[in-house]
Amino acid sequence: MLRTLYQRLCVPAADPAARAEAKEFLRDELQQARAARCEVPHDPGDLAAWMQAQAQGVHAHYALYLADREAGGARRYFTNRAHALYFLRSVAPTKLVDGAWLYGLASQWRNPRFAGLVRTYVEELGEGDSGKNHVLLYRRLLEGNGLWPLDGLADETYEQGLIQLALAFNAQDFLPEIIGFNLAYEQLPLHLLITAYELNELGIDPYYFTLHVTVDNTDTGHARRACEAALELLPRTGDAPAFWARVRQGSKLGCLGLGTTQAIAGYNAEAEVLRILAHKAPSGHGAHSDYCKVAGRSVNDWLAAPQDMPAFLQALRQSGWIKPEQEPGDSRFWKLLQGPRAQMFGVFSGYELQVIHDWLRGAASVDGRPFDQPPGTRQPTFRAAQKAVADPDGTEDSLDPDFAALKERGDRPCDVQELVEAMSPATHWSPLGLYATRQFWHVARHAA
């Protein structure tokens, strides 16, 4: 399973067997990507013009989108708040390893030809700033919206993140492919701009996405640096055409797995409600009194068979426990989940409640109202100024066990390899990893 290998690589130091399996996985993915269209030009000399044309095209399409919204057009991506949260959850395995594809190059910090890519990796880590570390920002976004832990995700949601982890731990064998992946992945996509706009409109913090809009710019950002790094690392004495062919092939890896638009299109409100109920069934079975019956069967009996959830949902409808296309408060089932003295308070996460809430409301949920706000409440947009603020003095939580262990070392300095290991995709967002990133970046910038 993709998830199993993903988890085996989400450790500070992946074992040799996991690395070898990841290498074979990458070879299979590259073979699969051969049929995909390559956007990267055949001639490396055309990179700058290609980058500018890509950006101009995205900006033109975004201007059309904004004009359509200004004229009263509907949101293009998210039908309601639950839909947006479903998207955030579905792409989480990719976002939680953001930047990982460059990790294997951090050890090359002394080589000036790798300076741009090492700098990009450090910036993905927020330069050790907890308010700008991309993975930490996304973890906070998930936790703040009731999306943690990530139970029950389909195996396909791990494919793109696994590609990035596999590149991280096999840089020695896939350098051209890493360069190509970085080249394509760091270009500004239209979906990033629309996602940020619509999340803000629905009252969900868009900062993780707006941060990428700024850092991936074509002037001083990752998009331009990716082009410069590709040219800098092109062989000068070796087989440059063969190397460039592998760069172009690697650029197509970003097209594999569940992308933004596919994740958005995959949302089906009732299917997600059924998934949630089936997920809850094992823990709920046996916890209900037998006096409560639906369609002649006790709730415990219904929950004994997760595969019966479609029939259970239909029975709730027919018995009047659920009243579709009405305010959730009109449904007896909802009152058990939310509100004063709700008998099942705390059983469902904030995300699960939002899905059920919006499913009950149907078309009316387009207003984006959160499940815990009363009818008639207008949902304000999320202001970017409310983004997470980094610790002003850069201090870390002394109770974190890994960071505490580092402090016990006393005055003995870390060597750079120790810092690099702490900057792995599994730990760079932790207090230890943030500290290591700051120390590493200080050393790298001041290296002779």
Contact 91, 157 (CB under 8 A): yes
| Chosen domain end from 325, 350, 367 | 367
Domain count across the chain:
2
> Which residues have C-beta within 8 Å of that of residue 361, sequence separation ≥ 6?
80, 325, 326, 327, 328, 369
Distance CA 186, CA 380 (A): 31
Whether 290 is in a domain gets the answer yes
The CATH number assigned to the domain holding 128 equals: 1.20.910
What's the average model confidence in pLDDT over 126-145? 96
Residues 238 and 283 in one domain: no
Average pLDDT of the segment spanning 92-108? 98
Query: Is the torsion defined by CA of 338, 344, 348, 352 positive or negative?
Result: negative
Confidence of residue 389 (pLDDT cuts 50, 70, 90): very low
Residue 178 has pLDDT above 50, yes or no: yes
CA gap 79, 365 in Å, rounded:
8
The answer, yes or no, to whether residue 104 has pLDDT greater than 70, is: yes
User: In this structure, what token pair is assigned to residue 53?
Assistant: 């044309």
Report pLDDT for 334: 96
Of residues 217 and 94, more confidently modeled: 94
Same domain? For 261 and 155 the reply is: yes
437: in domain: no
Same domain, 255 and 278: no
Question: Whose CA is closest to 260, among 175, 194, 319?
Answer: 194
Does any domain span residue 287? yes
30 and 171 share one domain = yes
- 11-48 residue pLDDT tens: 988 999 999 999 999 999 999 999 999 999 999 999 99
Predicted local distance difference test score (pLDDT) of residue 285: 60
- Confidence bin at 440 (pLDDT 50/70/90): very high
- CB-based contacts of 41: which residues, under 8 Å, 6+ apart? 47, 50
| Rounded mean pLDDT, 214-223 | 86
* Domain limit, last residue, from 233, 265, 297: 265
57 and 166 inside one domain: yes
List the domain range (segments joined by +) for residue 135.
2-265
Query: Is 374 part of a structural domain of the chain?
Result: no
Does 281 lie in the same domain as 202?
no
Report, as an integer, the average pLDDT of 373-390.
64
| Cis peptide bond upstream of 149, omega within 30 | yes
Residues 173 and 248 in one domain: yes
Q: Which helix (H) or strand (E) holds 297?
A: strand 297-298
Whether the Cβ atoms of residue 277 and residue 303 lie closer than 8 Å to each other? no
Domain annotation covers residue 96: yes
Together in a domain, 222 and 319: no
Instruction: Give the pLDDT confidence of 184-194 residue by residue, as tens digits.
Output: 999 999 999 99
Q: What is the dihedral of CA 134, 137, 143, 146, to 10 degrees?
A: -90
Q: Which of 318, 335, 367 is the last residue of a domain?
A: 367
- Answer yes or no: are the C-beta atoms of 310 and 346 closer than 8 Å: no
Residues 230 and 275 in one domain: no
On whether both 209 and 252 belong to a single domain, the answer is: yes
Residue 411 vs residue 199, higher pLDDT = 199
Q: What is the pLDDT of residue 85?
A: 98
**Cα angle, residue 200 at apex, residues 194 and 204 outer, rounded to 5°:** 120
What is the pLDDT at residue 69? 98
The average pLDDT across 333-342 equals 89
Whether 381 shows a pLDDT value over 80: the answer reads no
Spatial contact of 119 and 100, defined as CB atoms under 8 Å apart: no
pLDDT of residue 400: 83
Task: Quote the pLDDT of residue 247.
Answer: 98
How high is the pLDDT of residue 398?
Answer: 62
108 part of a folded domain: yes
The answer on pLDDT for 231 being more than 90 is yes
391 has pLDDT over 50: no
Predicted confidence (pLDDT) per residue in 288-332, tens digit:
566 678 888 888 888 888 899 999 999 999 999 999 999 999 999
Q: Is 312 among the domain residues?
A: yes
How much is the pLDDT for 394?
A: 46
Cα–Cα distance, 224 to 251 (Å, whole number): 15
Per the domain annotation, does 436 fall within a domain? no
Same domain membership, residue 284 and residue 197 = no
The mean of the pLDDT values for the chain is: 91
Dist CA 102 CA 168 (whole Å): 6
CB distance 146 to 217 below 8 Å: no
Q: Mean pLDDT, to the nearest integer, of 243-266? A: 97
Shared domain for 222 and 286, answered yes or no, is no
